[in-house]
Amino acid sequence: MAKEKVLIYKRFERFWHWAQALLISLLALTGFEIKGSYSLLGFESAVSLHNFSAVALMILIVFSIFWHLTTDEWRQYIPTYKNLSAQLKYYTSGIFKGEEHPVKKTVRRKMNPLQVLSYLGLKLVLVPLLVFSGIFYMSYRFTSGGQLMSFTPFTLEDIAFWHVLGAYLLVQFTLIHMYMTTTGHTVTENLRAMLTGYEDLEVEEQEPREELDKNLQTN
């Protein structure tokens, strides 16, 4: 089947991806310094940069939710079991034998079934765990009417445990994501697509020319 250079990642999508990568990296680096794993910026500077990055990431999340809802891109995350077993078989054996990817990427279906489930877990479980445990941690104690107050029933130790657990899981997710980025037809194919927005795709019948043109116009 003939391939065609297609705009698959729009401008905001690329900005969101790289801004998110930068902020998560800053949160991980400063978070582990706050925890005492190493010393580079100093505790106070690490806390300030960690809090700033956390607020910036939450603002980015709000904008990304709005973008997904207004562009119908949220449909990319509708889970399906179709080809799920074939995808698992590919990742566990076929990929090492040079077999063809069982699921073809299209503008309307950028992720395979396993990726959809993974990103749903990230967005619906892991990110909320980190965001809310972070908010609870930052606002654990506050004063009201001259009295020290707390609006959460959890102990500070419990909140810190769940926040650090979420951070370790996010680091693991990021490392796996970086590895999977190298599993395209070439090592840099997926990275180049997220930088430029364009990727060589097999254009199928369900990917009409009009839709590709519309996608180009909305970039």
- According to DSSP, the residues that pair with 200 across neighbouring strands are 5
The token pair at 71 is 């562009």
Structure tokens belonging to residue 165: 């657990």
The pLDDT value recorded for residue 210 is 52
| Chain segment 82-132, per-residue pLDDT in tens | 899 999 999 999 988 888 888 888 888 899 999 999 999 999 999 999 999
Other Cβ atoms closer than 10 A to 194: 16
Backbone angles phi, psi at 118, to 5 degrees: -65, -45
pTM: 0.83
